[in-house]
Each structure stands twice: as C-alpha cells, then as structure tokens.
Chains A and B, each alone.
Chain A
Amino acid sequence: MYNKKYVIPLILIFLVGFFTPYWYNAMAGSFGYEPELKKPAGECVEDSKWMAANHMLLLQQWRTQAIRHGAEGGRIYHSFTTGEEYHASTNTCWSCHDSKEEFCDQCHDYVGIHPECWDCHYTPDIEKPQYQGTDSLSKFFS
C-alpha cells in the first residue's frame, strides 16, 4: 500500500465519521433511548397512531376552521374515528394531555423540533399570574 501515512488516517476518519452516532450516543449515555409519554386521561379525537403522524395537520385544519368559519359552526369537529363531536380548540387537547412537558415535548425534543405554536398559545405548563398584591407583581415586571 502506497502513502500509508495518509490513507490509514483517512480510513480511520471515515469510520469515526460514519459511526458518529455510536460514540456520540455512548458519550451521552442514550443508547436505545425512547421517549416516555404520560398516559392521557381520555380517548383521543382520532386514532392515536394516526395522530402521532398527523396531529399538526389536524391542528392546522382546526385553526383554519376556527378563523375562517368559526361563526358558521367551523369550531365543531366530527371525529372520523368515533364520529363524536368535539370543540376544535387546543383546549380540547389540554383537557386530557395536562402536561406539555411530559407529553408533547417528549417526542418533539426526541426528533429535535420546537414548534413555534407555544410561543403565543396557551399550554398548561404556563404559570398563570394571579394577583397577590403589588409585591408579587415584581416577579413579572421589573
């Protein structure tokens, strides 16, 4: 073999690079890690497996229905799975999934996405300000 001093490091760099997940996950101690979801209280509006892949499409449809057709009953959602009627709102979701951190964030962090929905919208994890005299307000306003 010619040029051993270049070729052998090259092969090692290729192997180390290709098997990055092994040493990265070994250092993080996360081999075979799977997210643990908190079991929700009730039944989901649609089949839970379908929801795992398509919940963002459903929320998008609910948003459009609520904004554009809210006054004509667009807020009423008929489930394709059970046929029952639901109020098309994220609050319907929060009525069963009472913790964003233990349910939503588990998978979202797992695949490394951070939906911007919750920059504005309500989640149960938000600490609601309650008026307890002017002193406590200093926590929220400087």
Chain B
Amino acid sequence: MIGVIFGVIVPYIAVAIFVAGVVYRFVNWANSAVPLKIPTTGGQQKSFPFIKRTIYDRFDSPYTWWETVGRMILEIFMFRSLLKNTRYYLDRASQKDARWLWLFAILFHYSLLLVLIRHSRFFLQPVPEFVEMLSEIEAFKGVFIPSVYISGLAIVAGLFLLWLRRIFLSRERTLSLPSDHFALILLLAITISGNIMRYFFKADLAAVKELLMNLMVFNVGKAAAIADSIEPIFYIHFALASFLLAYFPFSKLMHAGGVLFTPTRNMPNDNRAKRHINPWDSDPSVPILTKGITVSGMTFTSKKLDWDTYYSMYTDQLDEIAESDYKIVPEEL
C-alpha cells in the first residue's frame, strides 16, 4: 500500500505539478513588464572612446548583446555575483571578505549536477557511456568497495555549510526566512537518505529502475506490483524527492529558472545609447511628465513648479552658486 502511494501516485502528481508549475512560472514572468532599465553594474560602462574598458568591465557592465550573453553564462555557471560577497562597514574603509559563500554554492550546485547526471541511469535504457564513465571517475573506481561517490558526500557537506551559515552568522540568521531553512532541510533529508540507502540499508536498484521504466510508459498495474516489493528506505528518498519536485516551482528553488528572467542581469547597460520603452506606456512619443500617469481612470500629472516660486524657495543657495561664477537660468523644457 505504501509502495503504491509513494511509488506510483505521489510521483505522478509531483511530476505533473513540477512541469506545469515551471511552465506557469516562466509564462508568468514573461508576462510581467519591465518598466525600467535596471541592470546592476560593477564596471566602467561604455562611454567615450578614450575611456578604456577592460574585459571585466565588459562582463560587469555589458553593452552589446554578446556581452550580456557572456555575463549570463558566467553568472549561471560561475556564480560571479557571489564573488562580490564582501561586507563593508560603516566607516567605509574596513571590509571583510566573505567569498566562501561562493565556494559553498559552487560545491553544492556542481555536486547536485553530478548527482542528477548519475541518477539518469535509472531513467535511460541503455545507460549512456558517459554517465557510467563519470560515475567511475568520481568514485575513483576500485578504491573503495562499494564505490564512494564524492559528489554524494560533497553535496551533503555543501548543504550543511550553507545551512550552518544561516544558523550561526547573526545577520544571515536575521534575514533567513522559514522557506530558506525548509529548502535546505528538505535537500539535506533527500541527500542523506540517498547516502544511507547507498551505503548502509541497501535497496534493490534493478527493481527501482523497473518501477521507473514502467511508470514512464504508464504501465500502472505492473509498476504497483513492483513498488510493493521495494525496500522502505527507498520510499523515504523517493517520496522526499517527489515532494521537492512538487515544491520546486513555487519556492525559492525556482531561482534555477528565475536567473534567466532577472532584469538586473539580463539587460545590457546601453541606456544612454538606446531608449528603453516602458511596455506599459500607451504613447511613448509623448514624455511621461507631460502626459501624466493614468491609474484606474484617474490621471496624475506632475505639478509644474514655475521659476519664480522655485527661485523664492531656494534664493540663498542659488545666489551662493551664482557668486562662484555659475550662470543661474530657468531650465527650458
């Protein structure tokens, strides 16, 4: 009975929620307008030809499409923005390097990638050559019996480091929400149960793959029969993984897809060369200050401050500026 619930029903529901949820989030994000050009930059932007830009400036303040793509690829595969994790203090002179966050993140994410690639052996028939080779390389095949997969241990270490950071550092603890802790605990539970199943309480892997192969072709009757014969430890791992799959699209873990939709990352910093048109703007040819903003039928225009009022408000300062040889004239719009 447990086998049928957690081996057949729950994974079907979880996969359906995952696929529909991820597509929903993508479409939802794609439907959201980006009214302003808001790339975050950390380098010299493209300017006059005599202002030199290094290769780092090109990636930190991209101007062309290719530079933006390069920045996104480096962000996705190298997590370059985490390398800016340096704490500055109020005196503005002292700072503390906290870039170990980058190391922990790289450790966790690349272990996760390897673990996911290794798990593809339960879904693909025949098992691809490179999956077998990768498993043998990372286990240093023949050193331990059974093979100890490094990524399986590194992922637990990485998750613990990321979680302990949230627990023991006061600032990180203050800004951690329950959802941050929950995602880490869930991933820890999955990885630890997987390691326990691999090294201590064995499960019949051939039966596991048979179950998955039958689930894939919707051979539910056969799958239910196989599911009942698999060891309980497998269902701890499998059910938690199903929960993660269902939780994924609606949680912070969706940053996996969200990074591609991040306006501060995926926009080129070409504000001074190309005008960014607000997609909400009904008539971009008329300036917003003249036209005003219409919200639910009511139009709000900015109150125009005439020069005389302005001058009377700031007489002292304007006269002081004028004394140091600046010309004070009303702005012509």
Q: Are B213 and A34 in contact (CB under 8 A)?
A: yes
Interface of B is mostly: helix
B231 contact from A4, A53, A56, Cβ within 8 A:
A53
CB distance from B210 to the nearest CB of A (A): 5
| B125 close to A33 (CB less than 8 A) | yes
A14 touching B26 by the CB < 8 A rule? yes
Q: In this complex, what residue of B is CB-closest to A25?
A: B125
Separation of A57 and B19 alpha carbons in the complex (Å): 39
Q: In the bound complex, do residue B124 and residue A20 qualify as a contact, i.e. CB atoms below 8 Å apart?
A: yes
- Which residues, 203 to 242 on B, are CB-close (under 8 Å) to A? 203-210, 213-214, 216-217, 219, 229, 231
Contact in complex: B257, A14 (CB < 8 Å): yes
- Residues of chain B with a CB closer than 8 A to A67's CB: none
Known contacts being A52-B206, A111-B121, A116-B141, is A31 close to B27, with CB within 8 Å? no
Q: Please, which residue of chain B has its CB at the minimum distance from the CB of A114?
A: B132
A86 at the B interface (CB under 8 A):
no
B126, B204, B205, B213: the one contacting A32 at CB < 8 Å is B213
Contact A3 B257 (CB under 8 A): no
A111 to B154, CA, bound (A): 23
In the assembled complex, the Cα of A41 lies from the Cα of B37 at a distance in Å of 75
Q: Does A2 contact B (CB under 8 A)?
A: yes
Q: A1-B31, A32-B213 are known contacts. Are A56 and B146 too (CB-CB below 8 A)?
A: yes
Asked if B123 is an interface residue, CB under 8 A from chain A, the answer is: yes
Nearest CB of chain A from residue B149's CB, rounded to whole Å: 11
State the CA gap A111–B209 with chains docked (Å).
Answer: 7
CA distance A116 to B145 in the complex (A): 9
Q: Which residues on A sit within 8 Å (CB–CB) of B18?
A: 18
Q: Complex: how many Å from CA A60 to CA B257?
A: 44
Number of A-B contacts (CB under 8 A): 101
Interface: A54 (CB within 8 A): yes
Residues of B with C-beta under 8 A to A11: 23, 26-27
Q: Quick one: given A25-B216, A28-B125, are A112 and B132 in contact (CB under 8 Å)?
A: yes
**A1-18 toward B: CB 8 Å interface, digit per residue (1/0)?**
111100100110011001
Closest to A34 in B: B210
User: With A14-B26, A25-B216, A33-B213 known to touch, is A111 a contact of B205 (CB < 8 Å)?
Assistant: yes
A56→B126 CA distance, assembly (Å): 23
Q: Whole-angstrom distance from the CB of B24 to the nearest CB of chain A? A: 10
Say whether B34 faces chain A, with CB atoms less than 8 Å apart.
yes
Is B122's beta carbon under 8 Å from chain A?
yes
Q: Which of B191-212 contact A (CB under 8 A)?
A: 202-210
A67 to chain B, nearest CB (A): 13
Q: Are B219 and A32 in contact (CB under 8 A)?
A: yes
A54 touches B260 (CB 8 A): no
Do residues A10 and B260 form an inter-chain contact, with CB atoms below 8 A? Answer: yes
Within the complex, the shortest CB–CB distance from A12 to chain B, in Å, comes to: 10
